[in-house]
Amino acid sequence: MWISNAFAQAPAAGPDSGGLMSFLPLILMFAVLYFIMIRPQMKRQKETKAMLEALAVGDEVVTVGGIMGKVTALKDAVVTVEISAGTEVQLQKGAITTVLPKGTLKSA
């Protein structure tokens, strides 16, 4: 015969590769992902929620769009912000990104 037969080889004898050691890289990757991405995001959400709950009339704020103004009225989910003398806009509370220190905005 010109072509020889191919036979399957027996697996190499070695320690049992199952168990916890096979899942260790997956567990380590999840732990790193948790401490680098998930935990800081949860902390940021908690701080944002506390800031929005503490929002009061007279606070100076910055919106998601970069508009700066003073809070003139608060309802459950709606905030009325005065952006210039006589100009007020209504926003959702989630659109507020930052509460500025008092006196940051100068009224004309």
Residue 105 CB neighbour total at 10 angstroms: 15
Which residue carries 């590769």 as its tokens? 17
CATH, domain range 56-108: 2.30.30
Residue 69 CB neighbour total at 10 angstroms: 22
Whole-number pLDDT of residue 63: 95
CA–CA dist 93, 7 (Å, integer): 71
Which residue carries 């506390």 as its tokens? 50
Predicted confidence band of residue 48 (pLDDT cuts 50, 70, 90): very high
Predicted confidence band of residue 86 (pLDDT cuts 50, 70, 90): very high
The reported pTM is: 0.66
- Identity of residue 91: L
